[in-house]
Structure formats: C-alpha cells, structure tokens
Amino acid sequence: MEKISVAVRFRPPNPAAADPSPGGDREWRIDDTRVTLVHRAAGPLPGAPFVFDHVFDRAATNERVYGTVVRDLIGAVVDGFNATAFAYGQTSSGKTFTMNGSDADPGIIPRAVRDVFDTVRQTDDREFLVRVSYMEIYNEEINDLLTLEGRRLPIKENLERGVYVAGLREEIVNSAEQVLELLQLGEVNRHFGVTNMNARSSRSHTIFRMVIESSAKNQIDSEDPIRVSVLNLVDLAGSERNNKTGTEGVRLNEAGHINKSLLMLGNVINKLSENGKQRGHIPYRDSKLTRILQPALGGNTKTSIICTAAPEEMHIEETRGTLKFASRAKCVSNCAQVNEILTDAALLKRQKREIEELRKKLQGSHSEGLEQVVLKLRNDMHKSELERDRLAMELEEERKLRMTLEHHLTEQQKKLEGLDNTSISADQFTDSTQLDALKTPDFKYTPDGFVAHRSRYSNDVEVSPLPENLDNIASDDLWTCLNKGCVTDLDMLEMTPGLKRKASLLQDATSVRYSANLILRLFTTIYGGSNI
C-alpha cells in the first residue's frame, strides 16, 4: 500500500484579472511542503496549514514539476506498473498549461511521451509494443479525439481488460514524434470555449492513455508472462462559478456538467480517505470520469495529483476548496503491483510469432523499411481485433434485444391464453351496476329528458279567415282578406312537381285534401258554382 502523491502548484498572478477588492490584506504563504493563509499585518490566520508532498510557487517551470512529480512514474510504467497523473483545480488556474505546456516549456504529457520511448530504447532485455488513445468526456459523453466518428462511446468491463471504453481507437506507435502528431490531431477535435476568466477554457476532461506491453527478448514460449501496463495523463476541466465566468447558454450547460463530475470525483476521494470500516460504498459509477479513473483511485495504480491554484485574493475561497480536496486525496492509498499476463489476452503475444517469422524472411534483404512494414502489420492486425470486438458487442446487443422480444411475445401469448380460458357470467356479479358496465351500449336509445320531439308535418292546416259578409262578386278587399294581404302574380305561378310520400305521411296528406275541399266549397259559395 502506498499513498497518492499530491503536489500543489500556484500560477503567477494574472494581470488581466482585475481584483474586485483592491488593497486586500490576505495572501497565501508558500513553503516547500506547506501552504498557509496569512494576514499581511497580523500574520497567519486561524486554521491549520495545508501540508503536501510538494508545493511549487509561481516561479516553478513545467520541467521542474515533471521531474519532481511524474518522472518516477515513467520508469514504473515501463516495468509493468499502472500509473496515472492528473491536474485538478479551478478554471484558469494553469491545469492545461501544466499538462500540455508550450513550445518553450513543454508540459507533462509531451515530456512523458519522450521519456517512455527513451526508457524503452534503454531497456535491452525486453521487447515493447506501445499503443496510444486520446479521449474526452464532454457533457458526460465520451468522444474519441483521434476520429470524428467516435462519439458517445460506452464504458465496458470484463475480467481480462477491466474497465475500458468500447470502440476507442488505439494506434500502435514506435516513436515519440508519431504520438505528438496524434496529440495535435486530438487537440483540434477537443472542445474549448471563451469565458470571462479564460480566453481558451477547456470545456471537457481529456484522458491521454498509453498502453505498454513487453516481454523478454528471444523467448517465444507461450508460458512466458507478458507485462501490460497503462499510463493515464488526465487534464481535468476546471470548476467554475457563473458570477465570475459569466457563462450562459451552451457554456452554462457545459459548466454544469463539469462541476457535477468534479463533485462526484470529490465524493469518491472523500469515501476513500475515510477509515476502512466507515468507508462503505464507493460511488465510482456516479460519473464516467470516476468510472474510467477507478483503477487510479484506490486501485492497482501509482497515482500523482497536481492541484493548481490561483494566488489572487479574489480566488481565496476557490483555492481553499482545491487545497481541501488535495488534503483528502493525500489520505488515499493504492495497491500497485506489476501486471503480468499468462494468457493470450496480450496483443503482443498474439503477434509475436508472426513478426518473428516475418523478420526471418526479411533478414537477408537488409530492407530499410522493415520496421515500417512490421508496424503496418501490427496496426492492421490491431484494427482487425478492434473490429472483431465491435462486432461482438453489436452481436451481444442484438442477442439481448431478441431475448427481450421473445420474452414480450411469451407474455402476450400467456395473456391471450388467459383470456380464452376465462368465462364471465352474470352470476359472478352481485352488483347490477358492475353487470351493466360490461354490456354493449345501445346507441339507438335516446333519453326523453334530453330531446324535444316534434312532428315533421302539422296536422292543423292554417287557412284564411272567412269574411263575415259574402257577396257574389269578389272584390280586391275580399282577396286581400282571404290571402292575408298577399298579392299573387298569376302569370308567375308554376306547377309544383309531384312528391312521393312515404307511408308514414298518409295522415298528413289526408289533412291537406280536407283543407283543399273546404276551399273549393268556399269558392262555390262565393261564385255560385258558375265557371270555376
């Protein structure tokens, strides 16, 4: 068991960031291993100082930080140990500069890549195979930075590989220059944004991974152990406060995911720093970041954490939170051991015999492109392995989907059989309301209370009132009285077409004929039956 190595690095003051409280009296006092908050006039403020393995002031270079914290990890990785180094801190505190650096002062990642290949070349008794990958966690989605097609990759776990990202592209490399070119490609695909505190703020966590396989030279016995080690170099996005960064819209949504994942990382560190009996469940699965870094936090890995901090007084609370995180991380212990594999799970073992045969065939040709041919064959074979894993994963998903459909069909069949075997009788219901609810509704029945019924034809035919005195001559006043004031143009009259009456209207037709006879007798009375 060994403790996680924790270092704190203070960046130089940022002249572009105006302190909203000028003339402040508090500042951080930095020693080799100690950080204390002091009052410029009164001295140290109440509270115990923070003590770490290493503390770097604003004058420290990336070379010094790398040599003190990370260089020993490279030798351990080449010897078969897993190793992880990551930067943690608030936004604009110098994490990306510490990990990537600049042309004048390269950061931890490029220096580690060169040291790996330098150490491999100096190891004469072993043969090495190195492959690299580069991923980011953006809004809780894993993206492959080496290819645009690698988006929303899932996390898998098995006995041979442990926790891994399925579908992640891995490139077999044989020089530091190849790796640095891949890193430049990944930086182009990485998510950055502009905030009030940083002109190029990281909007995602990035994980650069090197997998190193090695075996003893001149031995091809299948029982020889293969060492497989993993080096993780992690650049975490910084925690943010919206009132300082001024983020909104997409940037605000990114900040929410970043702060949430960092909170989950802090919860894991808190649990691991507790006493073993009180520790309980470790919430690795609460975020994808802690799930991928699970072996580095309390597992089989040598881990170093570099916590970056801002010296300005306006950031004192954020810096205090970073130092508390670093203090808890210093209490976490890992159990690192050499990873030796005796099965064919190692890629190097599966390729070794074929490569040896190829070397023998090309040994007499003195071909300058021998190493390139071998590298190409290794890459082709590795891509075939990745394709096979992808197809196996898709096949497993199809199998699960088919089982789900078969189970659903079985359940539906059982329900249908249950309906066929079930008979419902009126004796089963004691309440008439329940029985009425099962009856088919009668749509022809209409309640009397809601519809007012009216006959289509009226039985009483309206007629003009009879005049009191009838003479033999019909005057205009008589016609007006008989027609209720209506004047009829006889030239415009036309015959009404005959209508077919239904049997149900016979009674109404009889009433009409009766009215017509009555009018006829009336005219007979008026004109005395002459020439009508």
Binding site, annotated residues for ATP: 89-96
Beta bridge partners of 85: 233, 304
- Residue 334 to residue 106: CA distance in whole angstroms: 29
Pair 4, 330: CB distance under 8 Å = yes
- Residue 281 to residue 271: CA distance in whole angstroms: 8
Pair 89, 309: CB distance under 8 Å = yes
Element (H, E) at 214: strand 205-216
What amino acid occupies position 146? L
Q: How many CB atoms lie within 10 A of CB 188?
A: 7
Which residues belong to the annotated binding site? 89-96
- Angle (nearest 5°) at CA 269 between 264 and 275: 135
**Count of CA atoms in the C-beta half-sphere (13 A) of 209:** 23
Element (H, E) at 489: none
- Residue 240 to residue 300: CA distance in whole angstroms: 31
What amino acid occupies position 439? K
Beta bridge partners of 106: 101
* Closest of 254, 283, 47 to residue 138, by C-alpha: 254
Tokens found for residue 142: 């894993």
The conformational region for residue 477 under phi > 0 = left, psi -120 to 50 = alpha, else beta, is: alpha
Name, in order, each residue with C-beta under 8 angstroms of 408's C-beta and a sequence gap of 6 or more. Answer: none
- Angle (nearest 5°) at CA 289 between 204 and 158: 135
Pair 112, 98: CB distance under 8 Å = no
Pair 99, 87: CB distance under 8 Å = yes
Cα dihedral 330, 331, 332, 334 in deg (nearest 10): 90
* Closest of 466, 483, 463, 472 to residue 524, by C-alpha: 472
- Angle (nearest 5°) at CA 124 between 123 and 128: 65
* Closest of 389, 71, 74 to residue 230, by C-alpha: 74
Q: Are strands 171-173 and 54-56 parallel, antiparallel or unpaired?
A: unpaired
Q: Mutual orientation of helices 62-69 and 71-78 as an angle, nearest 10°?
A: 50
